[in-house]
Amino acid sequence: MTNQLLRGGRRRPGGAAGPLFVAPFMVLFLLLFLAPLGYAAYISLFQERLIGGTAFVGLDNYVTALKDPLLREGVLRVAMFFVVQVPVMLVLALLFALALDSGLLRLARVIRLGIFVPYAVPSVVATLMWGYLYGPDFGPFAQLSEKLDLPAPHFLSDGWMLGSLANIVTWEFVGYNMIILYAALRTVPDELYEAAALDGAGSWRIAWSIKIPALRPALMLTLLFSVIGSFQLFNEPKLLQSIAPDVIDSSYTANLYAYTLAFTGQQVNYAAAVSFLLGLVIVIVSYAVLLTANRRRTA
């Protein structure tokens, strides 16, 4: 009877339910992602000129961007930020996740919530808060140094700025990455821990030989998210620019440079080309990370 119903096609209307459920997402994805992306790619092929108006220039904007020293400096600075900040953040997230999963901490739920709460704070609020703490004149660190007759720390100086930004981003995202790693640890079967304990393995041995290898997919996920987030660094330097304008210029990061070109310099076409090149850099770095991880796994 069932086969006859299926062959007779009486249930064919139910087969349209899947596409109907997916249709709203596809429409929004097309309108809010693909269409703006296509338009940005289109306008990146043109250029506004004083004489002649808008002219088609092909890939000239991309060639100019590749030769732009300000863009190169911004990308290199963000790459340095990634190399310094991401390992520290992921190591802290891993240590917190292992500590919570060990079951040895008292008030583990409170500690877990306390570590995660900074992620719930908007990046704008977090940057303004840390900007106040970094303040060379009104910040608490500067006031404490003055009372102790010590030189005030120069958190917003040229040599310290990248570390100060890294500290803000680490404070914001350690909890987010910790939750991902902690959730991955909760999926490890208890039988593995019991078998290791029967073999005489201690807590450190279990963490090194069982827990950390089980976290490799989750660590790779957090690393990819960190690659994308690092090269999209914008909110923190943009807000600190008003406090330290001599250190953070309009091209301090690649994202900030593209924003300045589009909304301050009115070079929308060139900004679109810069944005696409930045996206290409993110794709290349992400692919390199995945390729390196896969080679180590198969080695």
Helix (H) or strand (E) holding 47: strand 46-49
| Residue that has been written with the tokens 């990370």 in this structure | 289
Task: Note whether 233 and 164 are within 8 A (CB).
Answer: no
Long-range contacts at 151-159 (CB < 8 A, ≥ 24 apart): 156/240, 156/243, 156/244, 156/247, 157/244, 157/247, 158/247
Look at residues 189, 184, 177 and name the one whose alpha carbon lies nearest to residue 112.
Answer: 177
Question: What span, in angstroms and rounded, lies between the C-alpha atoms of 288 and 284?
Answer: 6
The DSSP letter of residue 211 is: I
- Helix or strand run (H / E) with residue 85: helix 69-102
- Distance, C-alpha 86 to centroid of its chain: 9
Residue with tokens 């140094």: 145
Tell me if residue 71 falls in helix, strand or coil.
helix
Neighbours of 197 (CB within 10 A): 13
Q: What is residue 70's predicted lDDT score, i.e. its pLDDT?
A: 93
Q: Which two tokens stand for residue 259?
A: 């924003």
Beta bridge partners of 53: 49
d(CA 170, CA 216): 20
pLDDT of residue 1: 47
- Per-residue confidence of the chain (299 residues) as pLDDT tens digits? 445 444 444 555 556 788 888 888 999 999 988 898 899 899 999 888 777 678 888 899 999 999 999 999 999 999 999 999 999 999 999 999 999 988 777 888 898 999 999 999 999 999 999 999 998 878 888 888 888 888 888 898 888 999 999 999 999 999 999 999 999 998 888 888 888 888 777 888 888 888 888 898 899 999 999 999 999 899 999 999 988 889 999 899 999 999 999 998 889 999 999 999 999 999 998 888 888 877 777 66
Q: pTM for the full model? A: 0.85
Which residues 6+ apart lie within 8 Å of 227 measured at CB? 82, 86, 282, 285, 286, 289
pLDDT in the model for residue 210: 86
